[in-house]
Amino acid sequence: MRIVIVGTGYVGLVTGTCFAEMGNHVTCVDIDRGKIESLRKGKIPIYEPGLEAMVLQNADAGFLVFSTDLAAAMREAEFVFIAVGTPPGTDGSADLSFVLSVAGEIGRCIDHYMVVVDKSTVPVGTAEKVQAAIQAELDQRGVEVPFDVVSNPEFLKEGAAIEDFIRPDRVVIGTDSPRAEEKMQQLYAPFLRNHDRILFMGVRDAEMTKYAANAMLATKISFMNEIAAVCDHLKVDVENVRKGIGSDQRIGYSFIYPGCGYGGSCFPKDVSAVIHMARQHQLEPAVLVSVEARNRQQKRILFEKIEHHFGAGVAGRKFGIWGLAFKPGTDDMREASSIVLINALLQAGARVEAYDPVAFETARAEFDASWFESGQLSFNKYQYDVLKDADALVLVTEWKRFRQPDFDAMKDLMKNPVLFDGRNQYEPDVLSQHGFVYYAIGRSNQH
């Protein structure tokens, strides 16, 4: 099959590459000429395990090409996927200007039946707007060309996107067209040979499903963080509580790990979008408002624990940071908890030296250049070097290489053996045996 993907960001590039992997001919289109030239040279703009090798392999084989010319790409295509950004507005609404701009261009170019697929995360009713935008251009041209608009939201986890796409839990497709349903069934058949996991539903239902899924996961995280806060004050170990409730099959273990808040490109944006959609219809989504508020509060919890330990003496101290990205397996810094923590430390007069396996470049853009110029903030490519003469270590992102560190070597490097664990990676008894003062989330404050 011949497929066009409009947008070469995270979703677009992963989607196009995985379709190409199955033998489809895919053209990824973007208006950013610099990005397209870089992709043609094999330079991948995002970090995602396994993606670079797959892009290079399929590009070399001719199954994956990159272009700035949408009209040329569409000439023989059967599908065109819209995978451009929908950045949040100040009121939490999703900005559809890029989506509708692409829809208009599709309307100016289309000359045969195609399935137009909304892959971007978009509010309920967007497919109708895309349909209208394309039809308006066709009317302007004075031509009749059949097409269908389908909603096919993505459910990709950063750090595991290739696996999620190739072996999906489910494929949600919203359409009222039997012709489009058959085409989408054929397109996804290679990914579903084991058993059929396609869920066909109405277009608006599919649009809402994506938001509801992310809002539910964010709710589980904020709920557990709230329980952790209660545990802190009741001298209860939240890790035992987590295991106790996770063993209940109705609850499960996924997304009930307490920590220093969720981030990324999806959960914060999508929770805000649902709140905005609800308020547009005079509904007050009290649960999701609380989820958002708890997450804002949670991102300050590490700094609050630091202030509790050092009192007014944070200024002039050095803090080593392990982990910058919002989660392991990615270089994505959007809404990362590390940003809130580091800015709070810097504003309090502390020095910060941070390490992350992959996120240095994206992280640098999140902080004012003056912090680096003054030497108050620095990044180090060696994990243990950030601990030299440090008054404390703060673990923010739970990369695997942080799971079993050399505590004796750490203690020898640090000025003070104090560890603030934002992801509950370590056992308090182990840290105590190595002479550390240890703070975690929901584990009675100090061990």
Structural contact between residues 390 and 359, judged by C-beta atoms closer than 8 angstroms: no
Q: What tokens appear for 314 in the block? A: 């944070």
Catalytic residue among 18, 231, 260, 266: 266
> Which residues, including other chains, have CB under 8 Å from residue 358's CB and lie 6 or more apart?
47, 325, 330, 331
CA distance 394 to 403: 14
- Nearest Cα neighbor of 355 from 298, 410, 308 is 410
Query: Helices H, strands E: what count in the chain?
Result: 18, 14
A 10 A CB-CB count for 49 gives 15
Any alpha helices (H) in 365-437, and if so which ranges?
369-374, 407-413, 428-433
429 burial type by CB count under 10 A (0-12 exposed, 13-18 middle, 19+ buried): exposed
CA distance 82 to 30: 11
Structural contact between residues 17 and 54, judged by C-beta atoms closer than 8 angstroms: yes
Q: 3 φ, ψ to 5°?
A: -130, 140
Tally of residues, the chain: 447
CA Rg value for the chain: 24
Q: What tokens appear for 170 in the block? A: 């489910």
266 is catalytic: yes
Q: 210 φ, ψ to 5°?
A: -60, -45
Residues annotated as catalytic (active site), given as ranges = 266
